[in-house]
Amino acid sequence: NAGVMQNPRHLVRRRGQEARLRCSPMKGHSHVYWYRQLPEEGLKFMVYLQKENIIDESGMPKERFSAEFPKEGPSILRIQQVVRGDSAAYFCASSPYRGEQYFGPGTRLTVT
């Protein structure tokens, strides 16, 4: 049973470009969470999605960030017009129900 998959593992973008981060949850999991880990900071919740629905986006910056979890395919975290402060590790976690969360290996975003 494959774990949570994220790609790309590393992403380099210039300021002003768009970043798309993908997350495929574990088989049978319909709940997806995105967290961000800034350098020298802890993991912070960004958004919680179920298939085709955003349930809680209270941790997501109001501008430039969006997330989706379509009926088919992976969950996508999209960052438009990236800035240096967006450089961080972005982790996706999945859960079969409102319970234990299993994390992917993360995407390290570097904005130059």
Partner 1 sequence: TQLLEQSPQFLSIQEGENLTVYCNSSSVFSSLQWYRQEPGEGPVLLVTVVTGGEVKKLKRLTFQFGDARKDSSLHITAAQPGDTGLYLCAGEESGATNKLIFGTGTLLAVQP
CA–CA gap between residue 44 and residue 35 (Å, rounded): 5
| Alpha-carbon 105 to chain mean position | 11
Which of 91, 94, 109, 111 forms a contact with partner 1 (CB under 8 A)?
91
Which of 44, 81, 83, 112 forms a contact with partner 1 (CB under 8 A)?
44
96 part of the interface to partner 1, by CB under 8 A: no
35 part of the interface to partner 1, by CB under 8 A: yes
CA–CA gap between residue 105 and residue 112 (Å, rounded): 22
Q: Both tokens of residue 25?
A: 């949850």
Binding site for partner 1 (CB under 8 A): 4, 6, 33, 35, 42-45, 48, 55-56, 59, 91, 93, 95, 98-106, 108
